[in-house]
């Protein structure tokens, strides 16, 4: 496991911001960004080791596992064997700083996935938006909720092995219609309405291990199948503006993974990871049974990063 002391100090000597002003402008314009800065090399190596253990120790899954930063313990409806080793990366200073630069200083960690498209058989990811999650609701008076997914490469990711692809400016009008399907040859069981989308203008997210992309809730993105002889592994963490609401009132939502089982989004744990909570409706107690050790780590890191990043 990555030690918290390492996380607190690993990249403090880096010159310049994690996400530049020009990259912030691109994110606001296009809905996504590919920052030049990645995780420190030593932390990248530790992330790869932790992810390999998750791939090895978790059976009966098809390409995707939800909430990889949550350990599989009694009472946890989502989570993976080995989640303890991945949780520190969800609160890593480079990742939190990137999210802060992109959507603001008050951040809630609300989700994540881990992917491993195997060589030759990895499934395609249909064009979609991440706003299909009914839990993320805008603040009172807000038009849209603000959230960013940080997608970190475990393996080299490129067009040959099915890297992520973004359609620039495709989310400017907010949510699009998504059609449900029961295809077994796709990673998701829904797909965005492609009318009016410049699919030919899609941008490949070519990433070295430890480097990441960031995208908002509304940009349309997907991926081709992995037809190469190399795996395409990646891990994601979702952050939302703490002025918005993680709404638990709807119950379970239909799962997006290969198992097609309901995703217990209403019962998953969320964490305040930077700044302060700005919405009294956000519930940081539901889903936290038997993971109090992670709560302690998250709070310690939040206070440390508040002092370092917010002054």
pLDDT at 297 over 70: yes
Which of 40-49, 99-108, 130-139, 266-275 has the weakest average pLDDT? 130-139
- Structure confidence at residue 192 (pLDDT): 77
> Which pLDDT band, with edges at 50, 70 and 90, does 2 fall under?
very low
Domains contained in the chain, number: 1
- Position 310 pLDDT exceeds 60: yes
- Given this model, what pLDDT does residue 196 score? 86
- Say whether pLDDT at 299 is over 80: yes
Quote the domain boundaries for residue 240. 4-310
pLDDT in tens, 191-241: 877 888 999 999 999 999 999 999 999 999 999 999 999 999 999 999 999
Cite the DSSP H helix spans in the chain. Answer: 4-9, 21-30, 41-57, 83-90, 93-103, 292-305
Non-local CB neighbours of 258 within 8 Å, separated by 6+ positions: 61, 62, 63, 64, 123, 184, 187
Residue 179, pLDDT > 70, answer yes
CB 235 within 8 A of CB 47: yes
CA pair distance 162, 225, nearest whole angstrom: 5
**According to the 3-state scheme, what is the secondary structure of 190-230?**
EEECCCCCCHHHCEECCECCCCEEEEECCCCEEECCECCCC
137's CB contacts (< 8 A; 6+ apart) are 145, 244, 245, 246, 247
Share of the chain above pLDDT 90, in %: 69
Residues 6 or more apart in contact with residue 75 via CB below 8 angstroms: 289, 290
Summarize the confidence of residues 280-289 as an average pLDDT.
Answer: 96
CATH of the domain at 158: 2.60.120.620
Res 35 pLDDT > 90: yes
| pTM of the complete model beyond 0.95 | no
Cβ density class 66-90: b for 16+ within 10 Å, e for less: bbbbbbbeeebbbbbebbbbbbbbb
* Strand pairing class (232-241; 178-180): unpaired
Residue with tokens 């936290």: 288
Q: What value does the mean pLDDT take over residues 43-52? A: 97
pLDDT of 60 higher than 50 = yes
Across 1-15, 45-59, 109-123, 265-279, least confident range? 1-15
Yes or no: say if 64 and 232 are a contact pair by the CB < 8 Å rule: no
Distance separating alpha carbons of residues 71 and 87, to the nearest angstrom = 8
pLDDT of 119 > 50? The answer is: yes
User: Residue 15: pLDDT above 70?
Assistant: no
**At 5, is the pLDDT very low, low, confident or very high (cuts 50, 70, 90)?**
very low
**Helix, strand, coil % in the chain, rounded to nearest 5:** 25, 25, 50
- Residue 55 and residue 65: Cα distance in Å, rounded? 10
Mean pLDDT, the chain, whole residue set: 89
pLDDT of residue 9: 47
């Amino acid at each position: 496991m990555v030690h918290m002391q390492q996380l607190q100090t690993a990249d403090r000597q880096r010159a310049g911001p994690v996400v530049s002003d020009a990259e912030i402008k691109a994110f606001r314009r296009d809905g996504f960004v590919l920052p030049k800065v990645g995780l420190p090399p030593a932390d990248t190596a530790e992330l790869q080791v932790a992810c390999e253990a998750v791939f090895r120790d978790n059976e009966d899954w098809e390409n995707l596992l939800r909430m990889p930063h949550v350990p599989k313990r009694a009472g946890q409806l989502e989570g993976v064997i080995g989640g303890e080793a991945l949780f520190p990366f969800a609160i890593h200073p480079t990742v939190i700083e990137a999210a802060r630069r992109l959507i603001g200083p008050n951040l809630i960690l609300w989700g994540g996935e881990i992917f491993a498209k195997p060589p030759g058989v990895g499934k395609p990811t249909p064009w979609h938006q991440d706003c299909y999650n009914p839990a993320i609701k805008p603040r009172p008076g807000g038009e849209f909720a603000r959230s960013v997914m940080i997608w970190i490469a475990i393996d080299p990711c490129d067009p040959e092995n099915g890297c992520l692809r973004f359609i620039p400016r495709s989310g400017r009008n907010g949510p699009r219609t998504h059609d449900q399907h029961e295809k077994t040859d796709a990673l998701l069981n829904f797909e965005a309405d492609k009318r009016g989308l410049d699919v030919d203008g899609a941008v490949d997210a070519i990433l070295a291990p430890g480097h990441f992309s960031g995208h908002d809730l509304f940009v349309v993105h997907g991926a081709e199948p992995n037809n190469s002889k190399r795996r395409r592994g990646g891990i994601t963490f979702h952050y939302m503006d703490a002025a918005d609401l993680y709404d638990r009132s709807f119950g379970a939502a239909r799962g997006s993974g290969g198992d097609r089982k309901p995703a217990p989004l209403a019962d998953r744990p969320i964490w305040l990871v930077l700044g302060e909570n700005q919405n009294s409706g956000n519930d940081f107690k539901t889903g936290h049974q038997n993971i109090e050790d992670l709560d302690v780590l998250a709070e310690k890191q939040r206070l440390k990063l508040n002092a370092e990043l917010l002054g």
